[in-house]
Amino acid sequence: MSEFILEMQHITKEFSGVKALDDVNFKVKKGEIHALCGENGAGKSTLMNILSAVYPFGEYAGEIHYKGELCKFHNIKDSEHKGIVIIHQELALSPYLSIAENVFLGNEVTGVKGVINWTQTQKRAQEMLEKVGLGGENVGVPVNTLGVGKQQLIEIAKAMAKEVDLLILDEPTAALNDEESRQLLDIMKQLKHQGITCIMISHKLNEVSYVADSITVIRDGKTIETLNKERDDFSEDRIIKGMVGRELTNRYPKRDCEISDTILEVENWNVYHPEDAGRQIIKDVNFHVKAGEVVGFAGLMGAGRTELAMSIFGGSYGQKISGNIKINGKEIDVKSVKSAIKNKIAYVSEDRKTYGLVLIDDVKRNMTMAALSEYFSNKGVVDQNKEILESEKYTKLINIKANSVAQTVGSLSGGNQQKVVLAKWMMTQPDILILDEPTRGIDVGAKYEIYCVINELAQSGKAIVIISSEMPEIIGICDRAYVISEGSIAGELAKGELTQEKIMKCIVSHNGKEKDEWKAKRRT
Amino acid sequence: MESKKTNIDLKQYGMVIALIAIFIIFYILSGGKNATPMNINNLVMQNGYIVVLAVGMLLCVLTGNVDLGVGSTVALTGAVAAILVIDKGMSVPVAFLAALLVGLAVGIFEGTFIAALGIPPFIVTLATMLMGRGLTYVALQAQTKGPLPDAYTAIGAGYLPTITIQIGAFAFDLICLIIAIAATLLIVLSELNSIATKKKYGFAVNPMWQTIAKLVIIIAIVWFFLYRLAVYKGIPIVLVLMAALIGVYHFITSKTVAGRQVYALGGNEKAARLSGINTKKVFFWVYTNMGLLCGVAGIVLSARNASATPKAGDGFEMDAIASCYIGGAATAGGIGTIIGAVVGAFVMGILNNGMSLIGWSTDIQKVVKGMVLLGAVTFDLLSKRRK
């Protein structure tokens, strides 16, 4: 047997005449972690979908050799029988079923006549959990009680239960914070020692260079190069060069703008959990943003940043909200989203598919959704001509790639969808823009374009708040950042002080303080 | 490229073509009975209330829900009007107003539970269905209330005044002719207007022959219907009512902010809420409106039957819901049109009517209607998937 566990040769795949993959060759060595990099739409997912038989044999040209034999997979079960398991970006867990049930979902431990053997299920689930570092978890609890990071690990345990030899992970850390990501990557390294081969698709290049043994770069449906850890330069800049075909010297465009008066001030902001009035989510938060300033909200996932933003945005989150919001020094009352929009606040939500877009609707109707009654209505009748003109204007302005403004949003790429959400809020002509994870899950090129839009907005005198879990992003584009931890502000860092170490230090020391206070409270 | 466009267009008008096909099939099966002036007249009269309900139901369907209570509400409102006229001796307009108010009250009741308290519409309207039916039986003491006076029945069984013209052996109604001409002009002008707008903004325009073929077919249907009505008794008042409601609701759903909000809510409720749309308000008015339209349908139905019965409107909710889905609305919400729902209602109506004419029993009719609903939605979903 050769040193390669998998060889995909001359793979070509067309979607209605358009070549998504063009003569791709991809080889993976036994027992390595092989990263697959490329911009969105480069063809990474398509290639993996061919391997895991989401696109079965016959729908593509080329050959797959796995463990030395030519494979013709007709469905996902075929490839799983051979030990190839794919974990998709969206988790495939059933939220109200227990960990054990999820680990053996579709692969149940059965006795005679298909009756599930629960004792065995629980016992074996426990074994699988230990392999992925979750030995301490109770296999009987529903998975929705766990955090996203742990849920991702449950997915891996599920793959282990299928006796996986080749594990494919599509953006495994997209929804995880740094700490959880690190944990997952370490688990991947452990799996490697157990002899499992991993293919990982990721946009997070720092993680790729940390964990991978080889990197294959795909661009426009073609394999560009394969880098080897022992032989080649594994730096992020090197990988990006392969991905975009040129050197992207500065990932964060320069901004040159004047920071002037304070526009937004939030004072003594307190918010309680929407379903549990006793649980305080946001504690005494104070912050301000000036015109032309880009302010970051750094912190770990679950720190309360989204909850803070949404509670300010017309009380979209939480209950018993108290505190003051001042705009241009004047205190205002923002009771509903509508009044927030009237007061020139815009909130570009995280997770565009769930909270931002109507995917079945077209570009123009999505763009005008928030501004409709304010700017496109004539006594309640929609001015459809103006709607077309304005949405075409914004399409050009921020370079959205769509056939026309009548194209369905669901058929656009992630980066372009994000731009549509941005355009939607730009149309409301806000003074204050809160952007929640504006570049999650989109590629380097599209990120750069979004940063440019942010810069232009700041230059036109708008106050901008960026919530991001990617610290380099906060450091790269913000003038100032608040570090948020456990619902309160753990620190404020000016441009000069913004480093990953400082941000982490703020979080850690704040957590320590919280615990001490809590202990002190218990003692008294 | 050309052929692709044709395909898409055929799908767009697929239901209209199916409608014509069903009509022709029954024309052959019944030996031409379904195209007689009297039957065309019956077709309009029998389907009036289903069209009224389908129009309101479409809004509920757009939000991703249904209203199961409409059949009962139709019965209740009809019963109230009939009781007021016959037992209390009130004037017809007052009774109609009362029926509309009862419908509105039912709508507000549903809307309050759905919007303000967040109870799932399925549950709330299932409850209204049971309560409405029960109240109708109580109000009518399980008896039929009738006969209703002519002033009452006119709205369901009456006609616009006619001006008969005699040309040779033919006698027909001038009003029908005027309406036919007006409708033709309206259809042609609005099509020209939409083409001009599309061209102005550089959107794809359908090939000329397709547009002309479409217009010819639509206008031919209009003229055929109106001609048949003209040689019978003229324009039924129900038809005027129907046309007015279709026009108003088509305008609301396609041109107004309020209509757009319903689509946005159905497409993605969370995104709609975060875009400043008061989703509770939308739910409230959609269900309140449904209640009001139930009042209208209740009046029309009791007028046509010249009486109110406790069993009236039984199963109407299912006909109205089926009309929306046959007309291309999505069960998940956010997709569907008023015109589609109306076409769907007529598909059901022509089926019912045709099957009665050739003497099929109501049992078989139900089987066929079920198959048509399943077939239409299956076809719709499969053709979308293939794209």
B272, A349: Cβ pair inside 8 Å? no
Does any CB of chain A come closer than 8 Å to the CB of residue B272? Answer: yes
Candidates B256, B274, B330; nearest CB to A337: B274
A440-463: b (≥16 Cβ within 10 Å) or e: bbbbbebbbbbbebbbbbbeebbb
User: A192 burial class (0-12, 13-18, 19+ CB within 10 angstroms)?
Assistant: middle
Question: What average pLDDT does the segment A250-258 reach?
Answer: 82
Residue closest to A237 by CA, chosen among B99, A227, B266: A227
Contact A192, A212 (CB under 8 A): no
In this structure, what DSSP letter does residue A28 have? Answer: E
Strand order across the A69-71 sheet: A18-29, A4-15, A61-66, A69-71
* pLDDT reading at B385 higher than 80: no
Q: Beta A377-378 vs A381-382: how paired, if at all?
A: antiparallel
Q: How confident is the model at residue B7 (pLDDT cuts 50, 70, 90)?
A: very low
DSSP assignment of B266-323 equals HH-HHHHHHTT--HHHHHHHHHHHHHHHHHHHHHHHHHHHTSB-TTTTTTHHHHHHHH
Contact A220, A19 (CB under 8 A): no
Amino acid at A15: F
pLDDT value of position B263: 95
Question: What average pLDDT does the segment B156-164 reach?
Answer: 86
B335, A404: Cβ pair inside 8 Å? no
Using CA atoms, how far apart are residues A386 and A382, in angstroms rounded to an integer?
9
pLDDT value of position B374: 92
Using CA atoms, how far apart are residues A447 and A205, in angstroms rounded to an integer?
14
Q: How confident is the model at residue B152 (pLDDT cuts 50, 70, 90)?
A: very high
B276, A381: Cβ pair inside 8 Å? no
Q: Most A CBs within 10 Å: which of B194, B275, B282, B335, as the mutation test of the A interface?
A: B275
Q: What are the tokens at A475?
A: 């450091």
Question: What average pLDDT does the segment A441-454 reach?
Answer: 85
How much of chain A, in percent, has pLDDT values that exceed 90?
32
Residue closest to B80 by CA, chosen among B97, B57, B63: B97
* pLDDT reading at B5 higher than 70: no
A358, B274: Cβ pair inside 8 Å? no
Pick among 1.20.1280, 1.20.140, 1.10.357, 1.10.3470: CATH of B2-158+236-386: 1.10.3470
Question: What average pLDDT does the segment A126-152 reach?
Answer: 86
A392, B201: Cβ pair inside 8 Å? yes
Residue closest to B352 by CA, chosen among B318, B386, B329, B328: B318
Using CA atoms, how far apart are residues A163 and A411, in angstroms rounded to an integer?
36
pLDDT value of position B338: 95
Task: Count A/B contacts: CB-CB distance under 8 Å.
Answer: 84
Segment B360-371, tens digit of pLDDT? 998 998 899 899
Distance from the Cα of B249 to chain A's closest Cα (Å) equals 13
Q: Beta A280-290 vs A330-332: how paired, if at all?
A: unpaired
* pLDDT reading at B9 higher than 60: no
Contact A341, A374 (CB under 8 A): yes
Candidates A360, A372, A404; nearest CB to B203: A404
* pLDDT reading at B8 higher than 50: no
B255, A347: Cβ pair inside 8 Å? no
Segment B250-297, tens digit of pLDDT? 999 999 999 999 999 999 999 999 999 999 999 999 999 999 999 999
Least confident of A34-43, A322-331, B108-117, B291-300: A34-43
Using CA atoms, how far apart are residues B150 and A339, in angstroms rounded to an integer?
53
Distance from the Cα of B63 to chain A's closest Cα (Å) equals 13
CA distances from A445 to A172, A201, A243, A451, B153 (A): 21, 17, 9, 10, 70
pLDDT value of position B6: 40
Q: What are the tokens at A74?
A: 């007709």
Segment B195-219, tens digit of pLDDT? 887 787 777 777 888 888 888 988 9
Does any CB of chain A come closer than 8 Å to the CB of residue B202? Answer: yes
Segment A28-73, tens digit of pLDDT? 999 899 999 887 667 888 888 888 888 888 888 999 999 888 888 8
Chain B neighbours among A 321-340 (CB < 8 Å)? 336-338, 340
Least confident of A372-386, B51-65, B167-181, B236-250: B167-181
Chain B neighbours among A 386-405 (CB < 8 Å)? 388-389, 392, 404
**Mean pLDDT over the full length of chain B:** 89
CA–centroid distance for B212 within its chain: 26
Does any CB of chain A come closer than 8 Å to the CB of residue B118? Answer: no
Segment A7-17, tens digit of pLDDT? 999 999 887 66
Question: What average pLDDT does the segment A108-127 reach?
Answer: 85
Contact A343, A359 (CB under 8 A): no
Contact A271, A315 (CB under 8 A): no
* pLDDT reading at B51 higher than 90: yes
Using CA atoms, how far apart are residues B166 and A408, in angstroms rounded to an integer?
55
B276, A340: Cβ pair inside 8 Å? yes
CA distances from B34 to B88, B362, B370 (A): 41, 17, 22
Among all chains, which residue has been given the structure tokens 């680990």?
A103
Least confident of A335-349, B67-81, B131-145, B151-165: B151-165
Least confident of A214-228, A352-366, B259-273: A214-228
Q: What are the tokens at B127?
A: 């409850």
Segment A263-303, tens digit of pLDDT? 999 999 999 988 888 888 899 999 999 999 999 998 877 78
What residues of B are in contact with residue A17 (Cβ under 8 Å)?
A: none
User: A227 burial class (0-12, 13-18, 19+ CB within 10 angstroms)?
Assistant: buried
How much of chain A, in percent, has pLDDT values that exceed 70?
95
Sequence ranges of the domains in chain B: 2-158+236-386, 160-235
Question: What average pLDDT does the segment B113-129 reach?
Answer: 96
Query: Residue A290: which H helix or E strand, with range?
Result: strand A280-290
Size of chain B, expressed as the number of residues it contains: 387
**pTM recorded for the entire structure:** 0.81
Q: What are the tokens at B5?
A: 């466009």
Question: What average pLDDT does the segment B234-260 reach?
Answer: 93
Query: Residue A310: which H helix or E strand, with range?
Result: helix A305-312
Contact A424, A367 (CB under 8 A): yes
Q: What are the tokens at B48?
A: 């009036």
B256-276: b (≥16 Cβ within 10 Å) or e: bbbbbbbbbbbbbbebbbbbb
* pLDDT reading at A492 higher than 80: yes
pLDDT value of position B62: 96
Segment B55-74, tens digit of pLDDT? 999 999 999 999 999 999 99
* pLDDT reading at B44 higher than 50: yes
